[in-house]
């Protein structure tokens, strides 16, 4: 089975490639390396230096050859270039296309007009190019698109998986769940979802949209095989996640900074569960003409809970930390109802890895190895939703 991964250089794209290659899938990667460009322009580096994608592929293929793993093939390019994309699809003829290839930062998209336009152009047009390419060249390919739980916002009703059964004036219908995105980035994800639903209904394509929560963790069974195979650990104000930031702040002696009240609730999952979900989406694909939505997360936490978990875990390692609340640079509800469903992955076999003190302590020890690399200047928020 042939798998094409768009965005193969990314935090999730690279571990996914190794995970599937190890299971003997034929894996093809492409990337335009735009995230590395954004990092360079904004003075941001991951905690541990990351090898070039070509070097990572070379290392994997050498190791994999000895162990009998599948080979990874790299074909660099930009899906905004329709000619390149069409040639790629013709040459690979993928059974499944895993689409990670988008600008992934909500804060970056809120930096200003230029960044908002880039985020939406890159994400929406790139995805549209893919849809037209699949329609014309490989309409049997199953598209697995990385969506975001952030497109739902924080509605005052339970969040279902993609759809809502509606009764209005005595009539019933099933509609896409209302979207209330958090940022221009999340707005691009919402547009992707509408476009996917449309092409499945009109063209008969098949697509699975994975509305994913915040992913934590850096180590998988494959990334720890060799230093050249590691994936990125971001803790900065653009690409870093709240949990990563808290753990880095604990290591470098800075207060754990909570934006606003800390009562904001979000969904989370371990990176290894992301890989399992991708494989389950491959094994249980959408049907022709079906737009399938799966909410991809395992737990819900508010920000205060995460800070307290890091505080307690660090204390067990002899690290004393303080928690500090600062003015929220984002526009979001400080307290809200939040009850999303994640039944579909559990029903098809996902056995989640849950966040606990053991994981936090192991990650803090990992961070301590690279403490000299921590740049405190990129920890504090510099981007405001209202300038």
The DSSP result for 161-178, as a single string, is: SSEEEEEETTEEEEEEPP
Token digits for 353?
């890895």
What value does the mean pLDDT take over residues 289-315? 98
The answer to whether residue 384 sits within a structural domain is: no
Q: Give the list of residues 6+ apart from residue 28 with CB closer than 8 angstroms, or none.
A: 2, 3, 4, 5, 72, 73, 74, 75, 88, 92, 94
In this prediction, residue 85 has a pLDDT band, given cuts at 50, 70 and 90, of very high
Token digits for 197?
């639903």
What value does the mean pLDDT take over residues 55-69? 95
Please state, in angstroms and rounded to a whole number, the distance separating the CA atoms of residues 256 and 240: 14
CATH value at residue 346: 3.40.50.720
Q: Is the pLDDT of residue 57 over 90?
A: yes
Which structural domain, as residue segments, surrounds residue 18?
Answer: 2-378
Give the pLDDT score at 20: 98
The answer to whether residue 306 sits within a structural domain is: yes
What value does the mean pLDDT take over residues 221-249? 97
Please state, in angstroms and rounded to a whole number, the distance separating the CA atoms of residues 355 and 177: 28
Q: What is the pLDDT of residues 131-175, one digit of tens each?
A: 999 999 999 999 999 999 999 999 999 999 999 999 999 999 999
The answer to whether residue 387 sits within a structural domain is: no
Give the pLDDT score at 244: 98
Please state, in angstroms and rounded to a whole number, the distance separating the CA atoms of residues 95 and 86: 15
Nearest Cα residue to 267 out of 192, 332, 216: 216
Q: What average pLDDT does the chain have?
A: 97
The answer to whether residue 126 sits within a structural domain is: yes
Give the pLDDT score at 169: 97
The answer to whether residue 364 sits within a structural domain is: yes
Give the pLDDT score at 110: 98
- The gap between the terminal CA atoms of the chain, to the nearest Å, is 49
The answer to whether residue 383 sits within a structural domain is: no
How many domains are there within the chain? 1
The answer to whether residue 252 sits within a structural domain is: yes
Other Cβ atoms within 10 Å of 56 Cβ, number:
25
What value does the mean pLDDT take over residues 269-285? 98
Q: What angle do CA 331, 334, 337 make, to 5 degrees?
A: 115
Give the pLDDT score at 363: 98
Give the pLDDT score at 386: 93
pTM: 0.97
The answer to whether residue 113 sits within a structural domain is: yes
Q: What is the pLDDT of residues 201-231, one digit of tens each?
A: 999 999 999 999 999 999 999 999 999 999 9
Give the pLDDT score at 387: 73
What value does the mean pLDDT take over residues 272-296? 98
């Amino acid at each position: 089975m042939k798998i094409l991964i768009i965005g193969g250089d990314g935090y999730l794209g690279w571990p996914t490639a190794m995970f599937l290659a190890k299971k003997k899938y034929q894996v093809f990667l492409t990337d335009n390396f735009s995230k590395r460009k954004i990092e360079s322009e904004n003075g941001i580096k991951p905690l541990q230096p990351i090898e070039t994608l070509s070097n990572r592929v070379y290392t994997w293929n050498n190791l994999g050859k000895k162990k009998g793993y599948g080979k990874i093939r790299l074909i660099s390019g930009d899906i905004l270039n329709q000619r390149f994309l069409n040639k790629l699809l013709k040459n690979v003829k993928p059974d499944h296309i895993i689409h990670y290839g988008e600008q992934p930062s909500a804060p970056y998209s809120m930096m200003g007009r230029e960044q908002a336009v880039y985020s939406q152009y890159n994400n929406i047009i790139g995805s549209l190019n893919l849809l037209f390419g699949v329609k014309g060249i490989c309409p049997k390919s199953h598209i697995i698109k990385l969506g975001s739980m952030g497109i739902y916002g924080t509605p005052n009703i339970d969040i279902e998986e993609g759809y809502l059964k509606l009764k209005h004036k005595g009539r019933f219908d099933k509609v896409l769940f209302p979207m209330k995105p958090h940022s221009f980035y999340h707005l691009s994800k919402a547009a992707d979802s509408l476009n996917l639903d449309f092409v499945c209904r009109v063209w008969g394509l098949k697509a699975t949209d994975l509305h994913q929560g915040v992913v934590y963790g850096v180590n998988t069974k494959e990334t720890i095989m060799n230093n050249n195979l590691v994936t990125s650990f971001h803790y900065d104000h653009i690409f870093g996640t709240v949990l990563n930031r808290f753990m880095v702040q604990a290591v470098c002696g800075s207060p754990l900074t909570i934006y606003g009240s800390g009562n904001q609730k979000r969904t989370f999952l371990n990176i290894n569960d992301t890989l399992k979900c991708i494989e389950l989406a491959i094994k249980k694909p959408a049907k022709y003409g079906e737009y399938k939505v799966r909410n991809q997360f395992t737990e819900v936490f508010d920000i205060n809970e995460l800070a307290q978990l890091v505080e307690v875990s660090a204390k067990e390692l002899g690290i004393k930390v303080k928690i500090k609340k600062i003015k929220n640079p984002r526009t979001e509800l400080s307290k809200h109802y939040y009850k999303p469903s994640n039944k579909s992955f559990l029903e098809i076999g996902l056995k989640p890895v849950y966040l606990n003190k053991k994981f936090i302590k192991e990650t803090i020890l990992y961070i301590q190895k690279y403490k000299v690399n921590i740049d405190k200047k990129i920890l504090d928020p510099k981007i405001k939703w209202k300038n």
